[in-house]
Structure 1
Amino acid sequence: MLVQPKNQLMTRFPYDQFAKNYLKELLQPLGEVETSRKVPAQIREIDVYFLPSLQSTNTIELGLLGKFAAEPALVEPFRNAATIAEIRSCINKLFDIFAEVKRQAKGDKTRLSESELPRLWILSPTASESILDGFRTNLDEENWGIGVHFLGDYFRTAIVVIHQLTCTEDTLWLRILGKGRVQQQAIDELEALPQNNPLRSKAIDLLLSLKTTLEFNQNIDDEDRDLIMRLSPIYEQKLAEVKQEGIQEGIQEGIQEGIQEGIQAERRNVIENLLQVRFGSLDAELRGITEALLALSPEEFTPLLLQLSREEL
């Protein structure tokens, strides 16, 4: 039995959870996203299982990731380079899903073509030539650019080597899941996006959550520390923005409270002046009337003060 070292599992977990949450947030507007999906055949999980919405056409802003989301997909992100065994395990999960989808189609008495089966996207920060050759992968640069290595057609699988992707906006959302300098450059590009970009805000929030998780982790390496350092200025800026928003909200609330207090004070002054004009002085009984009249608008309390007797008031 192959057992992963404990410290390796502990190191991978924060990134694994980050990648699942990150992909879920980005893909959710496009269709149905399920993370940690159980495979019925065995106790195994698919990191991200995606089914596109029939109504959604919003794939352009996600670039290459949006292109992946144009069809049913299994997405398996790796923090470290995917090994031969890990790639085989991903393919096994895909075949289990094929069998499940086929059974459902048979039960529904519908015919299912090969093109309707989900495709597996293995996201690996790097991959050696020997691994790519061993799985007999091929590029389709005209349609997918460099870095996307397809296995044979019937495998419906591609190994996405993130470090090989071109540094364009089209690949940004995948390079965020890269490692080292590739990820750091992607974070630079993410920061440079317009402040009102909703995906920018979501990605930064998830990265800052990852930073917090890593800081509590005892088993971090130099790359983890570099990532924490890179995210620290963003965290400080975010903290300053939250403080400023809180101050602004407090000022606005204070202004509103001040306006209301001013209105109440002015109304009280008008009521007391009218009572004094009519009855000479304000005793405890008339002051009690003042409090009740404050609940009314000037249009309501003015005729009452001018027309009613003390007893009627």
Structure 2
Amino acid sequence: MTRFPHDQFAKDYLKELLSPLGEVETSRDVSSEVREIDVFFTPTSTETPYGISLGLLGKLATTPAIFEPFRNAVTPRQIRSCMGKLFDVHAELERLSKREDRRMTEAQLPLLWILTPTASPALLDGFGFQAIARVDQNWTSGVYSLGSYQKTGLIAIHQLPRTRETLWLRILGKGGMQKQAIDELAALPEDHPLRTNALELLYNLQANLEVNQQLEAEDRELIMALAPLYRQQIDAAIQQGKIEGIQQGIQQGVQQGVQQGVQQGIQQGVQQGIQQGIQQGVQQGVQQGQRLIVENFLRFRFGELDEGMVAVIEPLSVLPVEELTLLLLRLSQLGGESPGIEEGKRLVVENFLQIRLGKLDEQNIVRVDSLLALPPIELRELLLQLCQFSRDELLSRLGELLG
């Protein structure tokens, strides 16, 4: 799990939204010293319908830009650090243009946008930030800038009007502002191009926060706000799985029934096939819904899944609900990075062996290592077969397979 889940969420979120508009780099190194820029954006196209749909964020993304999002109110020291990184980037770009014998214009230099949940009047006055809306009515309240050559702007998220135009920035806010933005996001049509991806990133943030036992009150409130949305997604996946399973089962059942009807009477065969198909379809639907739950959980917990983790999805989906719930709870306590993924695969294999063999002795622990070394397809097939074997048959099978 990342040490700073909110920071990682903000980077992933901005990258997801801005990628269609241009090139996005996260955690870009600054050459002068070991420092990183959160998000470095370079537009590759002019104003587009997609960019317009992002509202204020799309407006900020019409020029090269550095985005520095903060979970808590930005401090004077942090602002100075951000500006230092900005000027280092400017110097780097100007050196590059000189080596390539081309002219670097002011318009080509990136702007710095500091995204902060709140900003006090004292902070704004101390740096001389001016509200852009006072001189340009095309900008909304909550957007500030310094002199044009300083190329630095600040978004005070708590001052943004609660409109669709500011939604995608208010998601990065805090407390009630963020909660309302999440509610607005959830209320968007289900086929909205950004709704699903933004919610998945929020669910990933939720999973990372839940591992932390020392949460701030606002983080607990955020988890509570996301929990019903996550439950809705799981319920929708289950329902979709049932519907698809029933439809597939009916179709297969009718085909089987027609074939049987040639010998037993077409009408009787079709009726029997439909009944069998519905029963088969409901069962397939439940299994498919459970598979979707498992797959979504693993992706939220570990991100991109390797072949080994994909191989255990189907075996996990056929476990009894009680055993699956306990196993998912244990998996949720693991980190989301590479060591956590490897530990998760080991936990799954150990769980399957414990179901059939009880407490694992040293020999069976060695067998766990051997099973994890199998090609993913062989591991998947073996785990699916475990519940079909008696204890003796299983030990014999493992002996044949693993030597």
- In 2: Cα distance, 1:85 partner to 1:248 partner: 56
- State the partner residue of 2:115: 123
The letter of the residue matching 2:249 is G
**1:140 match:** 132
Give the match's secondary structure for 2:26: strand
Displacement, 1:163?
0.1
Match of 1:66 among 49, 55, 58: 58
Alignment of 1:205-224 (within 5 A): 205-224=200-219
What letter corresponds to residue 148 of structure 1 in structure 2?
A: V
Q: Does 1:241 align with 2:233?
A: no
Aligned to 1:27: 18
Runs of 4+ in 1 over 6 A off after TM superposition: 266-269
Matches within 5 A, 1:86-105: 86-105=78-97
CA distance in 2, matches of 1:44, 1:266: 74
1:265-289 superposed Cα distances (whole Å, 9 cap, x missing partner): 57899xxxxxxxxxxxxxxxxxxxx
Instruction: For 2:255 and 2:245, locate their aligned partners in 1 and report how far apart those are by CA, in whole Å.
Output: 15
Matched, 1:76 2:71: no
Match of 1:155 in 2: 150
Residues 50-109 of structure 1 deviation map (CA, whole Å, 9 limit, x = unaligned): 111136623110000000110111101000001111111111111111112112222222
Match of 2:6 in 1: 15
Instruction: Decide whether the 8 Å contact of 1:11 with 1:220 is kept in 2.
Output: no
Letter of the 1:19 partner, please give it: A
Deviation at 1:189, TM superposition (A): 1.2
| 1:38 equivalent among 1, 17, 29 | 29
CA distance in 2, matches of 1:248, 1:160: 46
Give the match for residue 295 of structure 1.
Answer: none
Count of residue pairs the alignment pairs up: 261
Q: Distance in 1 between matches of 2:122 and 2:262?
A: 84
CA distance in 2, matches of 1:74, 1:204: 24
2:199 aligned counterpart, secondary structure: helix
Q: Which amino acid aligns with 2:77?
A: A
Tell me which amino acid in the other structure corresponds to 1:36. Answer: S
- The residue type paired with residue 105 of structure 2 is S
Kindly indicate whether structure 1 or structure 2 has the higher relative contact order, using CA contacts under 8 Å at least 6 residues apart. Answer: 1
8 Å contact from structure 1 (residues 31, 56) kept in 2: no
Residue type of the partner of 1:139?
A: A
1:159-183 C-alpha deviation (Å, 9 max, x unpaired)? 1100001111100000010001111
AA matched with 2:22 = G
SS class of match (1:51): strand
Deviation string 1:2-46 (CA, Å, 9 cap, x unpaired) is xxxxxxxx9971100111111111111111111111111111111
Q: Percent identity?
A: 56
Report the AA paired with residue 99 of structure 1: A
Per the alignment, residue 204 of structure 1 pairs with: 199
For the aligned residue pairs, the C-alpha RMSD in angstroms reads 2.1
Relative to its length, the structure with more helix (as a share) is 2
Report deviation, 1:251: 2.0
Q: Does structure 2 retain, via aligned residues, the 8 Å contact 1:12–1:79?
A: no
Shift of 1:260: 4.6
CA distance in 2 between partners of 1:122 and 1:17 (Å): 16
Structure 2 equivalent of residue 6 of structure 1: none
Q: Is the 8 A contact 2:110 2:151 kept in 1?
A: yes
How many angstroms apart in 2 are the aligned matches of 1:188 and 1:136?
A: 35
Q: Distance in 2 between matches of 1:104 and 1:177?
A: 34
TM-score normalised by L of structure 1: 0.78
Structure 2 unmatched runs, 5+: 265-403
Q: From the superposition, tell whether residues 266 and 191 of structure 1 become closer, same or farther in structure 2 (CA, over 3 Å).
A: same
What pairs up with 1:144-183 in 2 under 5 angstroms?
Answer: 144-183=139-178
TM-score (norm 2): 0.61
Larger Rg: 1
Counterpart in 2 of 1:279?
none
Q: Which residue identity is paired with 2:226? A: L
Cα 1:255–1:81 shift into 2, 3 Å? same
Once the two structures are TM-superposed, the CA of residue 193 in structure 1 deviates from its matched residue by 1.2
Instruction: Tell me which amino acid in the other structure corresponds to 1:215.
Output: E
Matches of 1:73 and 1:202, distance apart in 2: 23
